[in-house]
């Protein structure tokens, strides 16, 4: 029987979150810290990292941060090494960081933008899973959560190559779940429109109008996604792997 008092606790666990200084990634990092996990955050901007680390430590857990891109293999390697050497392990990986340097029809996307999107959103996520596996999880177990998008399931205007990268991430989730079981569970979340700076162009022009298209009559907030990630990483989801949890306020029903 699951103990409801401990199922969503992560005391003694170590979580690595990419892109964890703002938006969805920040909410995820803070949720793990609030649930007792030690947390490492990899992101690009040193000033935001310093503030994030202080915020996480204020929750009473060990925390560390590292400046670098989720598309840079050396930065990912360093983050894993930081987790194992400084925090004592690596039980949870959250591939949250993503990029989308282009906005417009996919048919017009420049090759350089395509390469950048795939480098961060797909290749980087796979590399982090690979090194987490070899450095820790192959011997100790763990869980990987990939933050994808509703756009990886259904097309939408103006962000076609981003959506294609997220579709690849969803298939990669299933493939890794098959390969790494039973010791490591791999799952994904597919958020719809969430109120973040990253998605500002999609909601800021008319948030009320965007909300009306959702059965829940609002767009998402980062905590909506963080709660789902926390569940998938927890013992309450111990028999779930290869799954994608859609978090979209019912938008895919409309």
Q: How far apart are CA 122 and CA 171, in angstroms?
A: 10
Domain assignment present for 215 = no
**Bridge partner list, 184:** 142
Checking if the pLDDT of 179 tops 90, the result is yes
Closest CA to 148 of 135, 165, 132: 165
Q: What is the CATH number of the domain that holds 238?
A: 3.40.50.720
pLDDT at res. 199? 65
Do the Cβ atoms of 100 and 109 come closer than 8 Å?
no
Q: What is the pTM (predicted TM-score) of this model?
A: 0.95
Is 24 among the domain residues?
Answer: yes
Tell me whether residue 98 is in a domain.
yes
Scored b (16 or more CB within 10 A) or e, 54-85 reads eebeebebebbbbbbbbbbbebbeebbebbbe
Is 197 contained in some domain?
Answer: no
User: What pLDDT is recorded for position 6?
Assistant: 80
Give the whole-angstrom CA distance, residue 71 versus residue 117: 9
Provide the CA 249 distance to its chain's centre, in angstroms. 18
In the prediction, which pLDDT does 202 show? 62
At 15-38, the pLDDT tens digits run 999 999 999 999 999 999 999 999
pLDDT at 78 > cutoff 90: yes
pLDDT attached to residue 7: 81
For 160, the domain range is: 14-192+221-247
Number of H helices, E strands in the chain: 10, 7
- 9 in any annotated domain: no
The C-alpha atoms of residue 244 and residue 35 are separated, in whole angstroms, by 23
Give the SS3 label for residue 56: helix
Phi, psi at residue 44, to the nearest 5°?
-90, -30
DSSP state of 47: H
At 206 the pLDDT is 65
Q: Tell me the C-alpha to C-alpha distance, in Å, between residue 216 and each of 149, 192, 205, 213, 222.
A: 18, 12, 20, 9, 16
Domain count for the chain, please give it. 1
At 212 the pLDDT is 75
What pLDDT shows up at residue 215? 83
Tell me how far apart the alpha carbons of residues 38 and 239 are, in angstroms, rounded to a whole number: 24
Quick check: is 75 in a domain? yes
**Could you report the per-residue pLDDT of 195-250, keeping only the tens digit for each?**
777 766 665 566 676 677 788 888 889 999 999 999 999 999 999 999 999 999 99
> Which is nearest to 200 in space by CA: 103, 109, 115?
103
Contact present, 248 and 156 (Cβ < 8 Å): no
Residue 204 lies in a domain: no
Q: What is the edge-to-edge ordering of all strands in the sheet holding 63-67?
A: 63-67, 38-43, 14-18, 92-95, 142-147, 184-191, 244-247
**Residue 235 annotated as catalytic:** no
Q: Quick one: pLDDT at residue 1?
A: 67
* Residue of 32, 133, 162, 203 marked active site: 162
3-state SS assignment for residue 224? helix
- Quote the CA–CA distance of 242 and 229 in Å, as a whole number: 14
Residue pLDDT, tens place only, 97-129 = 999 999 999 999 999 999 999 999 999 999 999
What's the average model confidence in pLDDT over 167-195? 97
Tell whether 199 is covered by a domain.
no
């Amino acid at each position: 029987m699951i103990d409801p008092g401990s199922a969503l606790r992560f005391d003694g666990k170590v979580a690595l979150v990419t892109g964890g200084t703002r938006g969805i990634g920040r909410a995820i990092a803070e949720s793990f810290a609030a649930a007792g996990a030690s947390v490492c955050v990899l992101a690009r901007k040193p000033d935001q990292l310093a503030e994030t680390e202080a915020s996480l430590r204020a929750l009473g857990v060990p925390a560390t941060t590292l400046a670098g891109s989720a598309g840079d293999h050396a930065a990912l390697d360093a983050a894993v090494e930081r987790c194992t050497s400084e925090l004592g392990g690596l039980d949870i990986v959250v591939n949250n960081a993503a990029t989308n340097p282009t906005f417009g029809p996919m048919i017009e996307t420049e090759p350089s933008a395509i390469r950048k999107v795939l480098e961060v959103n797909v290749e980087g996520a796979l590399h982090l899973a690979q090194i987490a596996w070899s450095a820790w999880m192959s011997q100790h177990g763990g869980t990987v959560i990939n933050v994808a998008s509703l756009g990886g399931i259904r097309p939408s205007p103006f962000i076609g190559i981003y959506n294609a990268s997220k579709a690849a991430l969803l298939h990669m989730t299933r493939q890794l779940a098959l390969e790494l079981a039973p010791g490591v569970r791999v799952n994904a979340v597919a958020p719809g429109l969430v109120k973040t700076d990253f998605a500002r162009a999609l909601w800021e022009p008319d948030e009320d109008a965007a909300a009306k298209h959702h059965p829940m009559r609002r767009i998402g907030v980062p905590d909506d996604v963080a709660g789902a990630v926390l569940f998938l990483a927890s013992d309450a989801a111990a028999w779930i792997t290869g799954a994608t949890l859609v978090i979209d306020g019912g938008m895919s029903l409309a």
